[in-house]
Amino acid sequence: RRRGIPEAILAEGKTPAEVAALATTALDTTGRALVTRADEATAAAVASAVGDVGPDATVERDDRIGTVVAHAADFELPSLDAAVAVVAAGTADAPVAGEAAVVAREIGATVDRIDDVGVANLDRIVDQADRVREADAVVVAAGREGALPTVVAGLVDAPVIALPVSTGYGVGGEGVAALEGALQSCSVLTTVNVDAGFVAGAQAGLIARAVDAARAE
């Protein structure tokens, strides 16, 4: 019972060979593999192992984000009639937001990325509000003081998921202030742990699945 969430392999703490082995197994058994937090060596090892196994499998690497997605030749990506917006405050938040976007897309949602709309310059997010309102679920990635999820949840009707990012130094740094800000938000929203892009994207995808199923009824 995986709820449509792809089998994901967290590369950290494993050797490239171990990750490649786990990925090919996932590919064989589920038609798909998703590797997260891979460095370049690991991503290369996965890509090569997948190529060896079946030349018809497709592999997509994003080295900035650290993800590798492999699909068997006959794998059919689900296509949900539901949209997820992934909003990011600053450049440093983009990779974590990207991980969320990949997962939501793999679950089948239409994903819209909206970057660089931090609250120190309010016009930017206000200008994008209508675009965010198109989505059935919204992920908002922000580090440091993490004010953006609160502001977005004040602008849209859809459920908002905060995704705190491990930026910032000193007290409250490494995403701690951003996480606590989500927990204390004056707006209604739920949160995941610092840098947990996979979880945020998956939860948004689960909401998209529920909406898609309801639309199909």
Ligand X SMILES: Nc1ncnc2c1ncn2[C@@H]1O[C@H](COP(=O)(O)O)[C@@H](O)[C@H]1O
Contact (CB, 8 A) for 78 and 107 = yes
Binding mask 183-202 for a copy of itself (x = CB under 8 A): xxxxxxxxxxxxxx--xx-x
CA 112 to chain CA centroid, Å, is 11
Positive or negative, the Cα torsion across 97, 111, 120, 146?
A: negative
Binding mask 122-161 for a copy of itself (x = CB under 8 A): x---x---------xx------xxxx--xx-xxx-xxx-x
Q: In this structure, what is the dihedral angle of CA atoms 187, 158, 100, 181, given to the nearest 10 degrees?
A: 0
Please state whether beta strands 58-62 and 190-191 pair in parallel, antiparallel, or not at all (unpaired).
unpaired
**Which class for 190: exposed (0-12), middle (13-18), buried (19 or more C-beta within 10 A)?**
middle
Would you count residue 121 as binding a copy of itself (CB under 8 A)? yes
Would you count residue 8 as binding ligand X (CB under 6 A)? yes
Q: In the bound complex, what is the minimum distance in angstroms from residue 28's beta carbon to ligand X?
A: 16
The smaller minimum CB distance to ligand X, of residues 171 and 186, is found at 186
The smaller minimum CB distance to Mg ion, of residues 47 and 125, is found at 125
Q: Under rule CB under 6 A, which residues in 51-70 are in contact with ligand X?
A: none
Number of residues that bind a copy of itself (CB under 8 A): 77
Q: Under rule CB under 6 A, which residues in 67-96 are in contact with ligand X?
A: 90-92
- Lookup result for tokens 């922000």: 142
Would you count residue 33 as binding Mg ion (CB under 5 A)? no
Would you count residue 209 as binding a copy of itself (CB under 8 A)? yes
Q: In the bound complex, what is the minimum distance in angstroms from residue 93's beta carbon to ligand X?
A: 9
Residues that bind ligand X (CB under 6 A): 8-10, 36-37, 90-92, 186, 196, 198-199
Residues that bind Mg ion (CB under 5 A): 89, 142-144
